[in-house]
Amino acid sequence: MEHTFHGTGEPLVLDGARRRPPNDDAQRGHITSLEQRLLSTQLKVADAIRTDELGSELPLDLPLPRTPNAENRARKAIGKQWDRLCKALPGVGLEVFTRRTLNEIFGLGPLETLLSHAHVNEVMVNSPWVVFVEAGASMEESG
């Protein structure tokens, strides 16, 4: 899980980059400055697409219904902005950015990947950096 975002299977932006320095406390959390820019950019793009492209009046903290039409419109909007966005996010691929942004619009952001696993029974979020996942009879910090 060391090379994925909160153990979701979503790769960290920089292949081989460690999520935390070896002596860092897991409870405190740490992401690279590039991951910070990626997350910030995803949220800004997702919010703009929700309001400008999809015309949603739902609060930004509620996911939109994921329909094929809405998802296609969101993908096109991301694609139109990609040339500008990729300059600020070196090493980030369009597919990773699109998947994460769609999860912000139509799901629960980074938690969406955890929740989609069939073996996951429960996800407990205590803070942005303290997330526990129950799978089967075991519970682990996602990290």
Identify the band that residue 82 occupies on the pLDDT scale cut at 50, 70 and 90.
very high
pLDDT above 70 as % of the chain = 78
Q: How far is CA 17 from CA 23, 49, 115, 121, in A?
A: 15, 30, 25, 29
Question: Tokens in use for 115?
Answer: 């929740």
Q: Counting beta carbons within 10 angstroms of the beta carbon of residue 53, is it exposed (0 to 12), middle (13 to 18) or buried (19 or more)?
A: middle
Residue 9's pLDDT band (boundaries 50, 70, 90)?
low
Q: What share of the chain has pLDDT > 90, as a percent?
A: 34
Stated pTM of the model? 0.75
- Which amino acid is residue 96, in one-letter code? V
